[in-house]
Amino acid sequence: MPTVLITGTSRGIGLEFVRQYAAEDWHVIAVARNPESDPRLREIKGDIDIRQADVTDHDVIDALAQELSSQAVDVLINNAGINGARETTLGNIDYEAWEKMFAVNVMAPMKLAESFVDHVVRSDGKTIICISSVVGSIARNDTGRCDYRASKTALNMVMRNLSADLRPQGIKVLSLHPGWVQTERNGPTAPMPLDESVKGMRNVIAGMKASDSGRFLNFKGEEYAW
């Protein structure tokens, strides 16, 4: 039975990843900062191991990796993230919030990869995924949301570095844009149904080849400029 570890699973994209992988008979390690915040996570049927952890607490992540030291992880999905306030313009920037955003969106995925690399290398899947965003593309930037854009650009650079660092161990690394998805934050007017986005990303993950490592793709497998 393959194993997937997913962060940020109490709602939205992470919750849907849990639902779909569990339905396909995967062993799912569902990590959430507050798993009791939404009963839907515990209502999903399947082989699901729910773990409470704040991804910014590096000691907790190390402890979790140690607790799961005998568990191979085929796919590690760094989904936990925050996007802060909608309006962050020059003269109206919350630098403390920006620092927190980098801790969650950039350093936490690096820490998860660092702590669980041995689990991933022992698996058959050998895959690390980060849920990024098209707004992290420098080439496609028009303006606005400097804090969130910068965090996703930095995340993409982390993943690009990891793809080179982990290639000798046979680990594939990918940044994925889920689309503008109908989550609690985006609302029902967003064009992409949640289940379709996650299904698309799962298909991209399942079809990854070694030559795809380090790329920046969307849920359809289309490539974005850095």
Domain parsing of the chain, residue ranges: 3-218
Given this model, what pLDDT does residue 145 score? Answer: 77
User: For domain 3-218, which CATH number applies: 3.40.50.20, 2.30.30.30, 3.40.50.720, 3.60.20.10?
Assistant: 3.40.50.720
Share of the chain above pLDDT 90, in %: 77
Confidence of residue 191 (pLDDT cuts 50, 70, 90): low
Taking Cα atoms as reference points, which of 105, 112, 124, 113 lies closest to residue 164?
113
Where does the pLDDT of residue 165 fall: very low under 50, low under 70, confident under 90, or very high at 90 and above?
A: very high
Region 40-56: mean pLDDT is 97
Q: What is the pTM of this model?
A: 0.94
pLDDT for 123: 98
CA 161 to chain centre: 16
Residue 177 has pLDDT above 60, yes or no: yes
pLDDT tens by residue, 55-71: 999 999 999 999 999 99
